[in-house]
Structures are given as structure tokens and as C-alpha cells.
């Protein structure tokens, strides 16, 4: 049985993951409105992954005999000044999620909740990949901005359209 402290923290993380999904869906719409199907594809894949993360936590709480309590999801931002600003927000958001997962893991250590520690290892590994992918896109967009070419955006858009689920 999951303890109340851990259950409540897991429910908070479910909300954060669902917000991430909602934020990335908003970002996908931003790119779709600009006819950048590769960037749209990238953000839709990110949205789907975040929803899967939320459900993984949701199922885990229930499997441990806990209660899932869903809360309101904050409205996401809908406009960005540039593609680079949006990508930097993705990178910053992933770093924030990583910090939240680490806090959850530290709580599992404190609570001596060994099952949660094991389950959270998957999230810790996943966040390394998420941060790396976001950082690469930021770096590519910075190179494109330095060169000042729209062609670079189109090439990156094409590359992102080919990305598979990570």
C-alpha cells in the first residue's frame, strides 16, 4: 500500500505531467499554424509522451492501493516570439520536470518506499533523454539564428518530421 504522503506527491506529479502534455499540445498548434509539420510532429510526440508519463503514475498509484485525485490543469501559453524561444521553453520545462522527479525520488527515499524508488528510476532515465533532445533542438535553432537563414528552419523541420517515438 502506498503511503498518503507519497500518494499525494504522485498525484501532484500526475498533474504536472498532464500540464506538460497540454503545454506541448499548445506548442504543436503554434507550429501547425505556421505550416511547420516537422516541428508539429515533434511537439505532438512530446505531448503523447507526457500523457503516457501521467498514466504510468496514475496506474502506479492505483496498483499500490492508492487514490488518484485529479486537479485542474493550468492553461498553457499559446504564443512565442520565436521558434528558439519556444524550444528554450521546452528545455527549461524539461529541466523543471526533472527537478520534480528528483524531489519525488528523494521523498521515496525519506519514506523508505522502495517500490516507488524502483518505479521512479524509469522516469529519471527518461528525463535524461528528454533534456538531451530539447537541448539539441535549441542548439540547432541557435545555429540557424546565427546564420539568419530560413532554409535552416526548413531543414530542421524536415528532420523533426522523421523522429520516431523515443
CATH number of the domain that 132 lies in?
1.20.1260.10
The answer to whether residue 16 is domain-embedded is: yes
59: in domain: yes
Average pLDDT of the chain is 94
Which whole number is the average pLDDT over 11-18? 98
Instruction: Please say whether the beta carbons of 61 and 6 come within 8 A.
Output: no
pLDDT at 147 over 60: no
Greater pLDDT, 157 or 139: 139
Residue ranges in the chain assigned as alpha helix (H) = 4-33, 37-63, 83-110, 114-147, 150-161
Check residue 124 and give its pLDDT: 98
Note whether residue 97 is domain-resident. yes
pLDDT tens for residues 63-80?
A: 999 999 999 999 999 999
Q: What is the pLDDT of residue 157?
A: 76
Q: What is the mean pLDDT of residues 73-99?
A: 97
Amino acid at each position: 500500500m502506498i503511503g498518503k504522503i507519497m500518494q499525494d506527491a504522485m498525484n501532484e506529479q500526475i498533474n504536472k505531467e498532464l500540464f506538460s502534455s497540454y503545454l506541448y499540445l499548445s506548442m504543436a498548434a503554434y507550429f501547425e499554424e505556421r505550416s511547420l509539420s516537422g516541428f508539429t510532429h515533434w511537439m505532438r510526440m512530446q505531448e503523447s509522451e507526457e500523457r503516457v508519463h501521467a498514466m504510468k503514475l496514475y496506474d502506479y498509484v492505483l496498483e499500490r492501493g492508492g487514490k488518484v485525485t485529479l486537479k485542474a490543469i493550468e492553461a498553457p501559453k499559446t504564443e512565442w516570439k520565436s521558434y528558439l524561444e519556444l524550444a528554450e521553453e521546452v528545455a527549461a520545462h524539461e529541466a523543471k520536470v526533472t527537478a520534480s522527479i528528483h524531489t519525488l525520488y528523494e521523498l521515496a527515499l525519506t519514506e523508505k518506499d522502495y517500490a516507488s524508488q524502483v518505479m521512479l528510476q524509469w522516469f529519471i532515465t527518461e528525463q535524461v533523454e528528454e533534456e538531451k533532445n530539447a537541448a539539441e533542438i535549441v542548439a540547432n535553432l541557435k545555429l540557424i539564428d546565427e546564420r539568419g537563414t530560413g532554409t535552416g528552419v526548413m531543414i530542421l523541420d524536415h528532420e523533426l518530421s522523421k523522429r520516431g517515438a523515443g
